A = this chain, B = another copy of it.
Amino acid sequence: MSEPISRRALILQEAAHLFREKGYPGANLRELARRSGIQGGSIYHHFASKQEILFQLMDNTMSDMIERLSERLIDSQTPYEKLRTTVYFHIEYHVTGPDQTYITDDELRNLEPENYLRVVAKRDRYQKIIEEIMLAGKTEEGWRLAEPKLYTRALIKMCAGVATWFNPDGDMSITQVAEAYADLLCNGLLPR
């Protein structure tokens, strides 16, 4: 059923890899073209500029993350369950990605002002989803948190960070890492 991927989609996919490897300024379009099976100049049939590739990639990714996380959360009932789902989702998305379509937050600085604002707005919507889980946990389950925004950022950074060191051939599976991280966030280090 999986219809052949369009050239445009293929370029975006390869751009995700390449930008991740070299960073946006360090990546070059001839290399991107080569990986996409075409010549350098042909990129411009599909995109107006290198900047547009970055923008489309980040914008698509943020939309996708919002959509997928929202879907996953439907099955979770309690704030506790939702938090665990979120931790698992965020780690998994950044480690494996949909076609590893992950671009680090760091590339935000490479977006031109208008594009920057649009992507950041979506990122904030994503954060808001998590923040509200934390607030619900506080009111419904008495979680001990003073600053939901603060802890949302902590969660996001530590989970996204897994992608920088995770080794699929290592001892632990993504699930195991996610379990351990969710447990840390819920229970902390000290004995209970």
Contact = CB atoms under 8 A, between A and B. Distances in A.
Q: Is the interface of A mostly helix, strand, loop or mixed?
A: helix
A118 to B, nearest CB: 19
Interface string A65-102: 00000000000000010010000000000000000000
A158 B146 CA distance: 17
Contact of A21 (B109, B165, B181): B109
A190 B186 contact: yes
Contacts of A142: 191
B187 A190 contact: yes
Interface stretch (A1-9, A32-40, A49-57, A147-155): A147-155
Interface of A: 21-26, 80, 83, 104-106, 109-110, 134, 137, 141-147, 150-151, 153-158, 160-162, 164-165, 172, 177, 180-181, 184-192
Top 4 A-B pairs ranked by shortest CB distance? Answer: A157-B161, A188-B188, A25-B26, A187-B188
Given A22-B25, A154-B161, 9 more contacts: A23-B26, A80-B190, A144-B187, A153-B158, A154-B158, A157-B160, A186-B189, A186-B190, A192-B192
17 contacts: A22-B25, A22-B109, A23-B106, A25-B26, A141-B191, A144-B187, A144-B190, A144-B191, A145-B184, A150-B172, A151-B180, A153-B158, A153-B161, A157-B164, A186-B188, A186-B190, A187-B190
